[in-house]
Structure 1
Amino acid sequence: MQQVDLEIGENLERHHTVGFSHSKALVVRRGAPFRISLPMKDRPFDTRTDTLRIKVMLGRLNVTMPVTFSKNSPTSCWGAFMDPEGLDATNPSVFVCAPASASVGRYTFKLLAFAHDKLKFRAMGKFILLCNPWCRADSVYIPFEDQREEYIQNDSCFLFMGTATNVVSRPWSMDQFEPDVLEACLNLLSVSPQHQRNKRMDYLYRNNPVYISRVVSAMINCEDDRGVLKGNWSGDFSGGVHASSWTGSGDILRSWAQSGYRPVKYGQCWVYAAVMCTVMRVLGIPCRVVTNFNSAHDTNGNLVIEEFYSETGKKLKSTKDSIWNFHVWVECWMTRRDLGGDMDGWQALDPTPQERSRGVFCCGPAPVKAVKERRIDLFYDIPFVYAEVNADVHTCVVSQGRVVSRSVDRERVGPLICTKAIGCPRLHNVTGDYKNVKSPFSTLSSNSSSCSSRSTLRRGTSKMAAILTLDKTPVAGGVIRFTLKVVNRQPVAKMMKVHVNAQIKEYNSSPADTFWENHNVVRLGPLDVKVLKHQILPGQYEDVVGDDLVNLAAVLEDTATHERVLAVEEFNVATPELVVQIEDEDNLALKREHSASVTFTNPFSHPVSGVLSVSGAGLLQGHANFRMFPLRPGGSGTQNIAFVPSMTGTKMLQASLTLSNKSNVRGFKMVTVRQL
């Protein structure tokens, strides 16, 4: 049996799959023809007597089609044709076109040549078929080229974390074009329970991005299957990698595949979402990573989150409901023919294992439009996503087992929902896509340093009030300064106990023990206001905060009536950045050696050391790791790196420094690589 010429260079260019040139197979997209050539060694092809047939196979599914001389091949079914104009009889070309609704997967084909109805020779080949957002007939078609470039082709991204008032952008390498990533993504479909239960039906359903996205959402976590990632929110990452240490999807997907599909340890929400985004982009489904700040996890479906504080301002863990400072999921772009057509567009999907959907830990696709319109009658998981962005928060102060103060905040959950902007490393606000209320952060950018003009919670009785605000955005190594304004709203003097409490907290859980507190008694005259200034010194927080956040709370108690009021502010401490510089960065060329430098200046009040890791899809093979020796407070260290670009286009060189206290410092540089 002969081999055909797959004309890989031409086909990859035509199908926008040049990034997969390292793959051993031809990678093409459905709904568009690809060309193969037939080496007719024994005799030239005679259009008068010779005919061709092609049999295409996906597992045990197959279709056989004649090769015609008509270019008008429909996008609704498989077709193959020859162009009679300029036909080379000794090396004729055949164009094969998969329908725009063909299933994603690894295909094989056989080409049969007949002369006077007698078989003369057979040839065979293989190709990988992906969805096609460039094809109008495809259910993942997205209309603008800059969107396709961002949501399919872009191999770098920024994940947004921190708090809504101090957003932190974290660089992430999507790695969809790195070696072995395509194969791992296709294997993910084959390892899934759906494929193992019924291969034929799985292959048939793979034509539908709704089905594919649910399979992938479940397979990114390992709770029900041989999925990619094992979650860990315990704080103990022994036996695996700290979730904050990952910088890209490639290492995770390769590790999973090379281990025989054992889950990679460990992931948290942004890792789950970023890896899913990579898989969906590989499969040809437009995808982006989305962050919801103050994201509610409503376990009982009542759209109410309850939080409890002690009478001295310590936050207590006494409910399964919670508010994550941020939660990260993905959106995929697709047509929803199963919902009648008016729910097309962005669909929310969440691979982080929180709640089961039809018995499986996955979430979505939930049409973002349906979330906004509260269409809880539609598929999939719309009530859960709706609660994440709309729940009310009831905050209670507890004394001797009894609730002594209760406040309700209807604005705290989901004040900012965002994703990366198209074509630049900035934040794009999509809150209005999910909610009818206008976001107070509509002009907030990823490098904003502004503080909230309102405290997270400052409601209480009408007799007194507490207003807690940060003086400025806290920065690592600096003093945390904040103001507590105490208000007496009555025309009589009051004595008040004032308790202020600071606890370290992870973004998704209740705080740990108190690391700083202050207790005082204040006398206020009638209708009086007092401003109390506080500060937390670097030595008091540097050893505990790291990448975590701070829960700051103040409780006022009227000593006469014992009435209480609570104010809360949760914030992150901005970490320093690595400075990445490229020598002669305007003249970066393919396959030529270039040099970069990474500089870190220690802002902390004590010496630090750590391990520096530098990576870049299309710039470096793997990671370059260096040990950074102790730097005194205020001291700087620089590491030089050589790299040889292997791909053209806009690329990201990123650096991550893991310090001895397990916190991470990051930096990046966007560069453009050109052909020589």
Structure 2
Amino acid sequence: MALEISKVELHVKENNKEHRTDDVTVKRLMVRRGQNFKITLKTNRQFQPDTDTLIFTAETGPKPSEEKGTRCVFGYPKLTGAKKAWTALVQESGRSSMTLAISSPADASVGSYNLYMREGSHTTPQSITNMVLLFNPWCTEDWVHLPEEAERQEYVMAEEGIIYRGSADRIGPLAWNFGQFEEDMVDICMKLLDMNPKCLRDPAEDFSARCNPIYVGRVVSAMINANGDRGILAGRWQTPYSGGVAPTKWSSSVDILRRWYKSYYSPVKYGQCWVFAGVMCTVLRCLGIPCRVVSNFQSAHDTDKSLTIDEYYTDQGVRPKESHDSVWNFHVWVEGWMKRPDLSGDSTYDGWQVLDPTPQEQSSGVFCCGPCPVKAVLEGHTDLKYDIPFVFAEVNADQVIWMLMRDGSKHRLHTDSSQIGQKISTKAVGAYRREDITASYKYPEVSKKERLVFEEAVRRGNEHKPRPELPLNPPALKLEITDEKESITGQDLELSLLLHSEHLQELSVQINAQAMRYTGVPDSLVYREEKDVLLQPKQDLKISIRIPFSLYGTKMCWTTAV
């Protein structure tokens, strides 16, 4: 008597719980690669492994192909000559049912799969289910495997978090709802992958490449912004925010992703760096790639890979608006956890990778950044993939101050190697507090090791460019500006300027206060004062400064820092 299968039980609730996706749904099968899930077949008689055969087919993408790894035929007993891929093993077998454990390989493409089955004597397969396959940080063979359970709970499972903003001396937490387990998030994230230009050009190749978290991370980085594709967020760094939502009004990725999906993939207005990063963290965690949001204070934007940030001032002490390089009060990106066997035969560059979805500079013609190994940034290995010179400059560039002379020439005043990249921050594991991870990006400032790494970064990344000039001798005059009291919006600013000289000096001191966006773009002058002073040798001179709110308040932008 031929074996007949009357019913297939998917054990969705149990399987999803085992695969830690039951917070998403218990209505459809959603599993992680490299890990068993079970199905039970109701049969007309007991399965006989000597004579009976079950043949399964798993397919993903519009053009499934065994050659590209998007189609796999497997069976029980194991098919002769079948490649190491999906597997089916019997867990229990009875007179009228059998339970099988099915597993995908740990390097299967993530995405939506159709699973078919037929009994060996039949030629027509029957559809079992449409299921979702995700990355698996719990699987040791998966490239995104994260060893510590506490970190998996934080960087994959946590739906709430903190994004840090402000300035190095005033870091402020912003509560953010990632919401990656909202039931519609998986479909939205899969659609995001489907809408990327690489998929639209060659879907067969794109679906095949979705086995690789390096590829997926780079695609997501490009699709979070809407520059050059049908991405999620349009960026805007100045008012007005007409036709959209001001970036500071967002506090959740969920609303943004739903708006994009429901608008048939029109960009949501508007985002800035922390919004881009928050949304990307949601997408990566949803797909199963461990992810955390990282904030860098005094963050450099180096446009020419020189690893220096050039700031220009007039002889009146005012910064003109024209400048390619800039220093942002803060900048926010994400880190994704994955192996990097494309860079090294060992685990040298495995671990946290910078992925930055904010559209700053193009990478291979696309507005994306990363994945960039944090370990490569630490050691100055700027000749590796991807975008390491740009990230290295963000956290460790030298800042060069120039004076623009009236005849058009420029004079280098000072080089500072310690101001860029301060208090690099992320939310601590299992706690609502800030964790400083600066040491994972660079060695202590002004240390010998830090300078050696900088020279290594210059050598590796700028072989055909002139080497940055060495720092000048210590300046003859030292200046320091400090707060006399805490600066509170709506009140006058009370500051002090401290001057110190090794020699007797008679000076005319020009004090200018200039508004500036958090991205480092200078705005108009709000305060100006000039004083003649006599500095005694080796003594400090303090000048008190008061800037009335009536002068600077009109320049405050209530949706970005100034």
TM bracket, shorter-chain basis: 0.7 to 0.9
C-alpha change, 1:486 and 1:69, in structure 2 (3 Å) is: closer
Quote the offset at 1:517 in angstroms. Answer: 3.2
* Equivalent residue, structure 2, for 1:413: 420
Cα 1:121–1:30 shift into 2, 3 Å: closer
Aligned counterpart in structure 2 of residue 268 of structure 1, from 263, 266, 272: 272
Output the CA distance in 2 between the equivalents of 1:337 and 1:209: 11
Amino acid at match of 1:306: D
For residues 444-459 of structure 1, the aligned pairs below 5 Å read none
Are residues 526 and 430 of structure 1, via their aligned partners in 2, closer, same or farther at CA, if it must alter by over 3 Å?
A: closer
Q: Map of 1:303-314 to 2, 5 A cutoff?
A: 303-314=307-318
Alignment equivalent of 1:437, drawn from 424, 441, 444: 444
Tell me whether 1:510 sits opposite 2:521 in the alignment: yes
Specify which of 76, 82, 86 is matched with residue 90 of structure 2.
Answer: 82
Aligned pair partner of 1:346 in 347, 352, 355: 352
- What are the Cα deviations for residues 489-547 of structure 1, in whole angstroms up to 9, with x where unaligned? 324x62x3332222222111322112233333334456553212223344444443335
Q: Give the partner amino acid of 2:105.
A: P
Alignment check: 8 A CA contact 2:223 2:232 kept: yes
Do residues 480 (structure 1) and 493 (structure 2) align?
A: yes
Whether the 8 Å CA contact 2:222–2:368 is kept in 1: the answer is yes
**Partners of 2:297 and 2:6 in 1: how far apart?**
58
Matching of residue 242 in structure 1 with residue 212 in structure 2: no
Of 529, 532, 536, the residue aligned with 2:543 is 532
CA positional deviation for 1:242: 1.0
Structure 1 residue corresponding to 2:75, chosen from 66, 72, 79 = 66
1:393 matched residue in structure 2: 399
Distance in 1, matches of 2:17 and 2:527, equals: 60
Instruction: Indicate yes or no: 2:55 matched with 1:53.
Output: yes
TM-fit CA distance, 1:97: 0.3
Q: Structure 1 residues 121, 170: CA separation in 2 closer, same or farther (over 3 Å shift)?
A: closer
Matched, 1:287 2:291: yes
In the superposition, relative to structure 1, how do residues 227 and 18 fare at CA in structure 2: closer, same or farther (>3 Å)? same
Hey, what does 1:125 align to over in structure 2? 129
Residue identity in the other structure for 2:99:
S
Q: Is the 8 A contact 2:418 2:445 kept in 1?
A: no
In structure 1, what is the Cα distance between the partners aligned to 2:482 and 2:423?
19
Report the secondary structure of 1:11's partner residue. Answer: helix
3-state DSSP class of the match of 1:320? coil
SS of the residue aligned with 2:342? helix
Instruction: Specify the SS of the correspondent of 1:167.
Output: strand
C-alpha distance in 1 between matches for 2:499 and 2:325: 30
Matched, 1:201 2:236: no
1:334-370 CA distance string (max 9 Å, x none): 1111112321111111111111211211111111111
Structure 1 letter corresponding to 2:270: Y
Alignment correspondent of 1:223: 227
Q: What CA distance in whole angstroms lies between the structure 2 residues aligned with 1:121 and 1:250? A: 38
Q: Kindly state the Cα deviation for residue 191 of structure 1 after the two structures are TM-superposed.
A: 1.0
| Kept in 2: contact 1:224–1:361 (CA 8 A) | yes
**2:35·2:103 contact (CA, 8 Å) conserved in 1?**
yes
- Structure 1 residue 148, shift from structure 2 partner: 0.4
CA distance in 2, matches of 1:103, 1:248: 28
The aligned length equals 520
Q: Secondary structure at the match of 2:53?
A: strand
Distance 1:140 1:497, change over 3 A: same
1:175-233 residue CA offsets vs partner (Å, 9 max, x unmatched): 10123211110111111111112221112111111111111111111222111111112
Please say if 1:32 is aligned against 2:43: no
Q: Per-residue deviation at 1:237?
A: 1.2
Residue 179 of structure 1 is matched in structure 2 by 183
Taking structure 1 as the reference length, the TM-score comes to 0.72
2:422 match: secondary structure? coil
* In 2, Cα distance between equivalents of 1:526 and 1:366: 49
More helix by share: 2
Correspondence for 1:380 among 361, 364, 386: 386
For residues 147-186 of structure 1, the aligned pairs below 5 Å read 147-186=151-190
Give the distance between the partners of 2:397 and 2:278, measured in 1 at CA.
25
State the alpha-carbon separation in 2 of the partners of residues 294 and 375 from structure 1. Answer: 22
* Counterpart residue type for residue 75 of structure 2: P
Give the 5 Å matches for 1:318-329. Answer: 318-329=322-333
Q: Match for residue 6 of structure 1? A: 10
Contact kept in structure 2, 1:155 and 1:174, CA below 8 Å? yes
Query: Is the Cα contact below 8 Å between 1:4 and 1:123 reproduced in 2?
Result: no
Superposition deviation, residue 81 in structure 1: 1.5
User: Which residue number in structure 1 is paired with residue 455 of structure 2?
Assistant: none
Worse-matched range after superposition: 180-189 or 393-402: 393-402
Unaligned runs of 5+ in 2: 66-70, 448-471
Residues 69, 82 of structure 1: 8 Å contact kept: no
Q: CA deviation at 1:234?
A: 3.3
Deviation of residue 480 (structure 1)? 2.6
More strand by share: 1
Q: Which amino acid aligns with 2:358?
A: T
Matched, 1:110 2:119: no
1:628 is matched with which residue? none
Q: 1:464 aligned to 2:470?
A: no
CA distance in 2, matches of 1:235, 1:161: 19
Q: Distance in 1 between matches of 2:6 and 2:265?
A: 35
Distance (Å, rounded) in 1 between the aligned partners of 2:446 and 2:98 = 60
Which amino acid in the other structure matches residue 154 of structure 1? A
Percent pairwise identity? 39
CA contact (8 A) 2:116 2:125 kept: no
Aligned residue in 2 for 1:452: none
How many Å separate the matches in 2 of 1:547 and 1:132? 38
Q: Compared with structure 1, are the counterparts of its residues 405 and 216 closer, same or farther at alpha carbon in structure 2 (3 Å cutoff)?
A: closer
Q: 1:336 to 1:521 in 2, by over 3 A?
A: same
8 Å Cα contact 2:246-2:559 kept in structure 1:
no
Relative distance call for 1:485 and 1:434 in structure 2 (3 A) is: same
- TM-fit CA distance, 1:309: 2.4
